[in-house]
Structure 1
Amino acid sequence: MPGTPEQVWQAIATGPGQAAWLFPADLEPEVGGSMIIHREPFGPDGAATVTRYEPPHAFGYDEPNQGPPSPMATEILVEARSGGSCVVRVICGFADAGEEWEDLVQGVLEGWRMSLVVLAEYLRSFAGRPGRSIDVITMIDPAPADRTTPAADLFRRLGLDPDDVAPGSPFRTAPGAPELTGVVVRAEPGYLLLRSESPGSGLWALSCFPMGMDQPISINLMGRVYDWPDDQSAELPTAWRTWLQRQAEELAASESILEEK
């Protein structure tokens, strides 16, 4: 990660810092303090307890579950390196779980892997700046089990061809999509991270995930904007939701046609 341990700590262990790249959170900065993680619309709010608070190097919390396994334990460790950079490690899992929960753990870790990509870009481009959340989820139903096919089609509809796009390349969203221009940060099957420069600065993570065997595929947009006028940013969730719902319906219809053939 770019930045000093203090800069990284502000981003991972404070409420405003987390809101700028992950989820808004209310937390008491001490061991035993309460923590509320606001994950809507991707999931319900999570109540947690701070288990480790050692600025600027170690932050941990436990989230209880309604049933076994319990709790979900997370620790984030920060180690300074030369050149003003840090290594950030996330340790996440269940203290009392067995192999039957491996799929759940792997899903959580996949989410953390993508989130850390966003954190790195936030620290590189917007460190210390507050962010406003633009979060949308919609479903492709029915959809194939392979998320990469509808994801690639979705990215093309957005104006980015997965076969041509590469990190560092400029982009402009297609006509009809919410207007953005900027730079591609990360592009891989099922996941796209963009940094917008116009009409405002922001980070936009777009991903597709299967919800389970024979279940819909979710389209997830996590946007964080940093200097948009309030009146413009207030319109963004509706604009993205409308566009993504239309794409999901068209993608589901095209998949149904393919299955019938």
Structure 2
Amino acid sequence: MAREFEVRREQDLLATPEQVWDAVATGPGNLGWLYPMEAEPRVGGKATRGDATDVAWEPPRHFAVRATQDGGFSNTLTYRIEPGDGGRATCAWESTGCTRASSTTPGTGTPSPTRPRSTSTSTSTASPST
């Protein structure tokens, strides 16, 4: 049985909403801090990270991409960007989806524990790298 997950983070950044958008929704920006991924700039556009599709595209405020794989895995990454004072922005990030079903713990042959859906929230301050 697949298990649902949800992780949330919120960060105040020393960057404008446009700079944050470029970091999360463009190939060069994404590569600078996470992994290579290009996204077609539209809802329904394809992203180059697995079998992924853009499900929200509202520059520079809201970007979301959903990836799915065989076996029940899915993950939606959502970024909501809000302007702040003095050239700052707040980025709320959420990852939600389902893990693959696994009947045993890898390498042990023993049944895997079932974990309930959980939520994690944190706030931090960061600045973009140059």
Shorter-chain TM range is 0.5 to 0.7
Which one has a bigger Cα radius of gyration?
A: 1
Structure 1 residues 4 and 14: alpha-carbon distance in aligned structure 2, compared to 1, 3 A threshold: same
Give the number of the structure whose residues are more often helix, by fraction: 1
> Aligned residues, how many?
104
TM-score normalised according to structure 2 size: 0.67
Q: Cα deviations across residues 161-186 of structure 1 (Å, max 9, x unaligned)?
A: xxxxxxxxxxxxxxxxxxxxxxxxxx
Instruction: Indicate whether 1:30 and 2:42 are aligned.
Output: yes
Residue type of the alignment partner of 2:80: L
Structure 1 residues 28 and 102: alpha-carbon distance in aligned structure 2, compared to 1, 3 A threshold: farther
In structure 1, the partner of 2:29 is: 17
Residue type of the alignment partner of 1:88: C
- 2-side partners of 1:36 and 1:19: how far apart? 12
SS in 1 for 2:15: coil
In structure 1, the partner of 2:81 is: 78
Residue type of the alignment partner of 2:36: P
Instruction: Indicate whether 1:50 and 2:62 are aligned.
Output: no
In structure 2, the partner of 1:67 is: 71
Provide structure 1 residue ranges, at least 5 long, that are not aligned to the other structure: 38-45, 127-261
* 1:161-240 equivalent positions in 2, closer than 5 A: none
Q: Cα deviations across residues 221-261 of structure 1 (Å, max 9, x unaligned)?
A: xxxxxxxxxxxxxxxxxxxxxxxxxxxxxxxxxxxxxxxxx
Q: Percent identity?
A: 32
- 1-side partners of 2:77 and 2:31: how far apart? 17
Give the number of the structure whose residues are more often strand, by fraction: 2
- 2-side partners of 1:101 and 1:63: how far apart? 22
In structure 2, the partner of 1:175 is: none
- 2-side partners of 1:58 and 1:82: how far apart? 19
Higher relative contact order (CA 8 A, sep 6+): 2
The RMSD of aligned alpha carbons is: 3.0
Q: CA deviation at 1:47?
A: 2.3
TM-score normalised according to structure 1 size: 0.35
Instruction: Indicate whether 1:87 and 2:90 are aligned.
Output: yes
Residue type of the alignment partner of 1:31: V
Q: CA deviation at 1:101?
A: 5.7
Q: Are the equivalent residues in 2 in contact too, given 1:65–1:72 (CA < 8 A)? A: no
SS in 2 for 1:59: strand
Residue type of the alignment partner of 2:56: R
Residue type of the alignment partner of 2:97: F
Structure 1 segments, 4+ long, off by >4 Å, are: none
Structure 1 residues 63 and 4: alpha-carbon distance in aligned structure 2, compared to 1, 3 A threshold: same
Q: Cα deviations across residues 100-138 of structure 1 (Å, max 9, x unaligned)?
A: 4658x77xx7xxx8xx98xx34x1x31xxxxxxxxxxxx
Q: CA deviation at 1:66?
A: 1.5
